[in-house]
Structure 1
Amino acid sequence: MIEVTASDVKFSAYRADPEGAPKGAVVVLQDVFGVTADIRKIADDFAAAGYVAVAPALFDKVKANAELASDAAEEGRSLIAEVGTEWPLAAIQATVDTVKDAGKVALVGYAWGGYLAYLAANQVSGLACAIGYHADGVMEGAREKRRIPTLLHFAEEDPQISEADMIQFRASRPDVSAFSYPGATRGFGYAQAPAYNVEAAEKAQERTLFWISQYVVGQGPVQLKNAGAYAQAKVERKGKKKADDMGPPMD
């Protein structure tokens, strides 16, 4: 763990470093339960992929070292209400500043963290791209044009984000690459959680790593299958579209 300061408030952050020179950095944003074992494992996986990974403890301003049990979502929501969004965004900026010497920085958030990643994409400086998993509340900022490349992953069976909301969001923000995963529910990417869905998790991680590689490492553009780059299509797509690709907005 490291210590960071934002708006005169000290907070902790879990940091994982790669072997050898880093390709860049990834800031991992927690969900409603805090910097849990699942969040730390995600940071470790990014470090194994060659990035400096840091997960700031965004509850520290109101409750230090909060790591809630899986049945304590209500307490987590109370902490979210108490901490608000202004200070977490300042903490995200401070965290980004601590890793920018590693190269370009990506932001990856989960649930509440996915929402913060979406907000931070337009408010935090020094970011190369932003990625959100089952990001609560993104409809609130759906009309605001994205300033950096943004990728979102939605679970088709998410009890808190309806299919109608996903479709409406995609229609409102054609500049965001958004994917839906059939049969998956909230938390599908957490390897230690009951909701873990190996097929959805692996596909989402492939897309996430590709996105980070393209915008952080800066490799030449390579078209990933179903990557959502519809503006590049030169021919009419025929047949039924892939179930997990939400597709371009309807005219």
Structure 2
Amino acid sequence: MSTVELKAKDGHRLAAYCAKPQGQPRGGLVVIQEFFGVNGHIRRVCDQFANDGYLVLSPAIFDRAERNVELGYDEAGMNKGRELRAKLVLDNCMIDIQAVIDAAGAAGKVAPLGYCWGGSLAYLAAARLSGLACAIGYYGAQIAGHSNETPRVPTLLHYAEVDEYIPQADIEKVRNAQPAVTIYQYPGTEHGFNCDDRKFWEPKAAALARERTLAFIRQHVG
């Protein structure tokens, strides 16, 4: 496991955590961070998928605003994450993600996989970017606001049952606008249920969502 530097088409250089599988990769995954940076949780997610056989890259999306960002899940981390996200331009985030997709393509077919803010970015990548086989998003609060943008590839979305940031009406908006998108909700869960560093971690739901995610990746990436 290491950190690599990638170059976006506008010349911006960004870091990406890189986790490699043993042996020939089955394909590439782009794991897109929450607004807490490429922190310990995101790196563990990358390592887990590398163990499943994929080349995994996780871009430091915050690099355009501040480098080497790793935040905790406390109030200070939340505030700092929001502050940094507000400094970024969405189109530039897409440029950075495209650069990482292109790099991951060395391993074969590619899927973006995002959590929280990264879940929204993964959805937008599916609608706007090239070189993808499928996309997966976990509890992306901004997806409803972009539900008029149709993914170009098979897309899977995971949502909590009760999410303080994503009302049920938003999930139904996505369902109605994009009937081809596969959506799961997980009973007894709240926002961030996949993250074992967050107070709302729900291990059974997290395991089921991961099982479904891996099956989806196996189907579309390899």
Give the TM interval when normalised to the shorter protein.
over 0.9
Over aligned residues, Cα RMSD in angstroms? Answer: 1.0
1:44 maps onto 2:47 in alignment:
yes
* Contact in 2 for aligned 1:133/1:152 (Cα 8 Å): yes
**Greater Cα offset, 76-85 or 40-49:** 76-85
- Specify which structure has the higher proportion of helix: 2
* Contact in 2 for aligned 1:146/1:175 (Cα 8 Å): no
Give the Cα separation in 2 of the matches to 1:70 and 1:149.
31
Instruction: Report the counterpart of residue 232 of structure 1 in structure 2.
Output: none
Instruction: Give unmatched runs, 5+ long, in structure 2.
Output: none
**Greater Cα offset, 65-74 or 27-36:** 65-74
Give the Cα separation in 2 of the matches to 1:202 and 1:122.
27
Give the Cα separation in 2 of the matches to 1:163 and 1:123.
25
Instruction: Report the counterpart of residue 145 of structure 1 in structure 2.
Output: 150
State which of 175, 179, 185 in structure 2 corresponds to 1:180: 185
Give the Cα separation in 2 of the matches to 1:197 and 1:83.
31
1:10 maps onto 2:13 in alignment:
yes
* Contact in 2 for aligned 1:106/1:129 (Cα 8 Å): yes
Instruction: Report the counterpart of residue 31 of structure 2 in structure 1.
Output: 28
TM-score by length of 2: 0.95
One-letter identity of the residue aligned with 2:51: A
Instruction: Report the counterpart of residue 168 of structure 1 in structure 2.
Output: 173
Per the TM alignment, residue 8 of structure 1 is displaced from its structure 2 partner at its CA by 1.3
Larger relative contact order, structure 1 or 2 (CA cutoff 8 Å, min sep 6): 2
Secondary structure of the residue that 2:179 maps to in structure 1? coil
Instruction: Report the counterpart of residue 211 of structure 1 in structure 2.
Output: 216
Q: Aligned ranges for residues 188-199 of structure 1 at < 5 Å?
A: 188-199=193-204
Q: Aligned ranges for residues 16-165 of structure 1 at < 5 Å?
A: 16-71=19-74, 72-165=77-170
Per the TM alignment, residue 97 of structure 1 is displaced from its structure 2 partner at its CA by 1.1
Give the Cα separation in 1 of the matches to 2:179 and 2:93.
27
Give the Cα separation in 1 of the matches to 2:33 and 2:161.
21
Per the TM alignment, residue 203 of structure 1 is displaced from its structure 2 partner at its CA by 0.8
Q: Which contiguous aligned blocks of 4+ residues in structure 1 show a shift greater than 4 angstroms?
A: none
